[in-house]
Amino acid sequence: DMKVTQMPRYLIKRMGENVLLECGQDMSHETMYWYRQDPGLGLQLIYISYDVDSNSEGDIPKGYRVSRKKREHFSLILDSAKTNQTSVYFCASSPGTANSDYTFGSGTRLLVI
Amino acid sequence: GDSVTQTEGQVALSEEDFLTIHCNYSASGYPALFWYVQYPGEGPQFLFRASRDKEKGSSRGFEATYNKEATSFHLQKASVQESDSAVYYCALPNYNVLYFGSGTKLTVEP
């Protein structure tokens, strides 16, 4: 079954706490992505990973870091979460070839209070 | 940089109405164009793509035709159903990264 799995689905954290969002895929896709989704802004790219330990900043990387130690797993880390990081976070994967489509996870809804 | 623009933030229709959601793009090259659909509580799903001028992409009764002259890829459906209520995103790739429009929320009343 080809899918992207995100954990947890819902998360509440206090400002200043560390946050770990996890993402896994079972398609052996090389490329994985983290986006955040906010009302009126659509999907904004945070980080992209081209393979294990090969990560690049997206358009809004500030306040985030990522880790990819296995091809099937990509983590998003928020060190000292801020209230403006309240959002819905989506992970996606793709084969990485030109014009390939993405498979998205169901998202993690993060509330920072 | 390359981008897509969706002019309608929200569209409200009744069942069996005709749907058009507008998407215009700005790109230096000749990009592929995509449509994604996102149902409540889920991640976006690939709907279809088109890669060249005048090519029509289609899926689940939705279609869009790549128009290079007008720089457009408008989504259409002849007769919408309540189950089509969702957010629709137009997207284009830039160096293998998909950039999404701001999305159009479609609400279909029974």
Closest CA to A106 of B42, B45, B38, B36: B42
pLDDT < 70 regions, chain B = none
Q: Which two tokens stand for residue A58?
A: 């997206």
Task: In whole angstroms, give the CA distance from residue B99 to residue B94.
Answer: 7
CA distances to A60, A82, A85, B4 from B1, in Å: 15, 29, 25, 10
Strand partners, A64: none
pLDDT of residue B64: 98
Q: Which two tokens stand for residue A16?
A: 């200043």
pLDDT score at A64: 98
What is the pLDDT of chain A when averaged over all its residues? 95
Residue A19 pairs with which residues in a beta bridge? A78
Report pLDDT digits (tens) over A101-110. 899 999 999 9
Interatomic CA distance for residues A46 and A90, integer angstroms: 10
Tell me if A101 and B100 make a contact (CB, 8 A cut-off): no
Q: Is B57 on the interface with A (CB under 8 A)?
A: no
Q: Give the per-residue pLDDT at B61.
A: 97
Min Cα distance A85 → chain B (Å) is 19
Q: pLDDT band for A97, please (50, 70, 90 cuts).
A: confident
A19 contact B CB<8A? no
pLDDT-based confidence at A15, cuts 50/70/90?
very high
CB of A91 within 8 A of CB of A5? no
Q: B42, A106: Cβ pair inside 8 Å?
A: yes
pLDDT digits (tens, 9 = 90+) for B80-101: 999 999 999 999 998 878 999 9
Provide the pLDDT confidence category of residue A39 given band limits of 50, 70 and 90.
Answer: confident
